[in-house]
Amino acid sequence: MTAHPTGSAAGPAAHGLVAVTGATGQQGGATARRLLAAGRPVRALVRDKVAPAAVALADAGAELALADFDEPSSLAPALEGATALFAVPPVAYRPTGSNAELEFTRGRALADAALAAGVRQVVFTGVASTTGDAFAAPGKRRIEEYLHEHVPLVTVLRPVRFMTNYLGMPGIGLDGFVGGVHRHLFPPDEPVQIIALEDIAEFAALAFEQPRRFAGRTLELAGDDPTPAEAVAAIGAATGARVRYEQLTHDEAVALSPQIAGVRKAWISGLRWHADIEALRVIHPGLRTLADWLSESGAAALRSRLLDGLDSGPRPAAAVDPSGA
């Protein structure tokens, strides 16, 4: 095992190299950019160094390392020299829904490789829990348990629905706007918690900056809780587009996938995300509301789709990952 400096009183290697998985995706990309902006060295684990997202990270100052979750032997070399890890194991699907066993296998391989490379801190991002088992995410929960059992310093982030989902999620069959209509599982007049990707990155950065403060903690993350109707009205006001919200019927959800239909049924039965937004704002005072996200970047991105005729068209049905619900 590689020896690493213990760093300051803030915790082991509080300013060392952070390896980031999922760096060419949403949460990993936002976290890598946040760390780089703060001057923290970042190594992005990627499968293709010449992919546009990987090249952009390299241009921003990240080191790139080739790694593949399905080739465990590639992971430890890619992690060598890192003192901390931001972990986003890729979701695995099968025809009936998410493949929890494969997802756990990938997460365990990453944890084992991190330990072999001498990594002492892991920030793992999973899926928000609910007041029941609607979004149980068994693969992610097993990864959380494995990390707590084997890694010295572990922080778990459980984000709710991303604000960027309003831009559309290819392959899901819902979200985004089609013909000015935003369609989803949720009742139009009941609050739904949402979170900006940038704020997931902020909480990750805090955990890396203060590893002992956040070690052992699980943070359910949300930044706002508008109703779907209120959210779409805010998007219309911010973009100048004529938009509206519609809730998917049961039959429409079934047509997308059994898993989506199950989530809709569980939500209607009363299960909800339960992040304590006000408590989170004490930790991170800059926590973004939907209005904040729209004014910073969301409205401009949405406007290009809604007013220029680029809103998401029909997409094929697929299993839905609760983290993108």
DSSP string, 269-321: TT--B---HHHHHHH-TTPPPHHHHIIIIIHHHHHHHHTTT-S----------
Domain assignment of residue 111, yes or no? yes
Q: What is the mean pLDDT of the chain?
A: 88
pTM value > 0.85:
yes
User: Quick one: pLDDT band at residue 99, thresholds 50, 70, 90?
Assistant: confident
Q: Tell me which residue has tokens 């569980």.
A: 266
What is the mean predicted confidence (pLDDT) over 67-87? 95
Domain assignment of residue 101, yes or no? yes
Residue 232 in 3-state DSSP?
A: helix
Domain assignment of residue 38, yes or no? yes
Other beta carbons less than 10 A from residue 304's beta carbon: 14
Domain assignment of residue 149, yes or no? yes
Tens of pLDDT, residues 248-298: 999 999 998 888 888 899 899 888 999 999 999 999 999 999 999 999 999
Domain that holds residue 152: 18-168+195-221
User: Quick one: pLDDT band at residue 97, thresholds 50, 70, 90?
Assistant: low
DSSP 3-state percent helix, strand, coil across the chain (nearest 5)? 40, 15, 40
Name the pairing type of β-strands 93-94 and 161-162: unpaired
Longest Cα separation, the chain? 59
Domain assignment of residue 41, yes or no? yes
Domain assignment of residue 60, yes or no? yes
Q: How far is Cα 315 from Cα 250, in angstroms, rounded to an integer?
A: 18
Domain assignment of residue 317, yes or no? no
pLDDT at 100: 86
Angle at alpha carbon of residue 111, lines to 106 and 113, rounded to 5°: 95
Domain assignment of residue 79, yes or no? yes
Nearest to 224 by CA among 278, 260, 183: 278
What is the mean predicted confidence (pLDDT) over 87-104? 76
Question: Total structural domains in the chain?
Answer: 1
What CATH number is attached to the domain comprising 97?
Answer: 3.40.50.720
Q: Which residues of 178-195 are buried (b: 16+ CB within 10 A; e: fewer)?
A: beeebbbbbebeebbbbb
